[in-house]
Amino acid sequence: MSIEFAVIGGTGLTEIEGLEVIHREVVHTPYGEPSGPVTHGMIEGKRIAFLARHGYTHTIPPHRVNYRANLWALKSLGVEKVVAIAAVGGITPEMQPTRLAIPDQIIDYTYGRAHTFFEDGLTHVTHIDFSHPYCAEMRTALLAAGECANLDVVPRGTYAATQGPRLETAAEIARLERDGCDLVGMTAMPEASLARELGLCYASCAVVANWAAGKDSEEITMDEIRDNLITGMANVRALLRALIC
């Protein structure tokens, strides 16, 4: 049975409720070790793969994730579609904590990350079209699943990918908003572009964990983020169940 799709879990999602685990597979890649073994499982009669982006004990910070190894491992197992879950900060008014959003654009502010497969042993220089960074087919499927599950999903948005692991300053968030960003997170890049290089149908479900710096009068705390992710990730699980059905 082929893998229906893979889920890359972000902060707050290190396992999928209701997943009947078949086995866990350690995959070695030319780009080093992935964040952990790939979990193969069944849910609602369909086979999926799961990989925790930050490791199953959540110890890998966003700037140290081996994005190339993770995507290469999934591709090597025959995966063609990927749903990436990401915890983010909300910048614009509709991106309030606990809401889900299916972003359609990215602005990359990261640096120093291994961001391409096309660098060594090439017969020619290779470019990819990245005008629309997320797979339209998977975005449509996620939006339909959100409607089916009666979830309040924001259908689009621009994701600002920052370096981390620190959170941003209020001035940086003001700049991101001037740039047209709706959400801020630390893992969209180079994950999305690497998926495109491998020909994977890749889309993201962003879970708003907190208001970004300067968007609320209160200081951002890890307790706040954790509490919002409890609700947000419950919605993600409902979305994934609807997507699988």
The position carrying tokens 């959003």 is 101
**Is 162 marked as binding a ligand?**
no
Peptide bond into 37 cis (omega under 30): no
**Is 189 marked as binding a ligand?**
no
Write out the two tokens for 47.
């086979």
128: number of Cβ within 10 Å: 13
**Is 210 marked as binding a ligand?**
yes
**Is 11 marked as binding a ligand?**
yes
Closest-CA residue to 242 (of 156, 143, 153, 155) = 143
**Is 72 marked as binding a ligand?**
no
Strands 81-90 and 5-9 turn out to be parallel
What gap in Å lies between CA 244 and CA 47, rounded to an integer? 9
**Is 53 marked as binding a ligand?**
yes
What gap in Å lies between CA 142 and CA 100, rounded to an integer? 11
The position carrying tokens 């290089």 is 197
**Is 211 marked as binding a ligand?**
yes
**Is 113 marked as binding a ligand?**
no
Closest-CA residue to 84 (of 63, 99, 69, 70) = 70
Binding residues: 11, 53-54, 186-187, 210-212
Binding residues for substrate: 186, 210-212
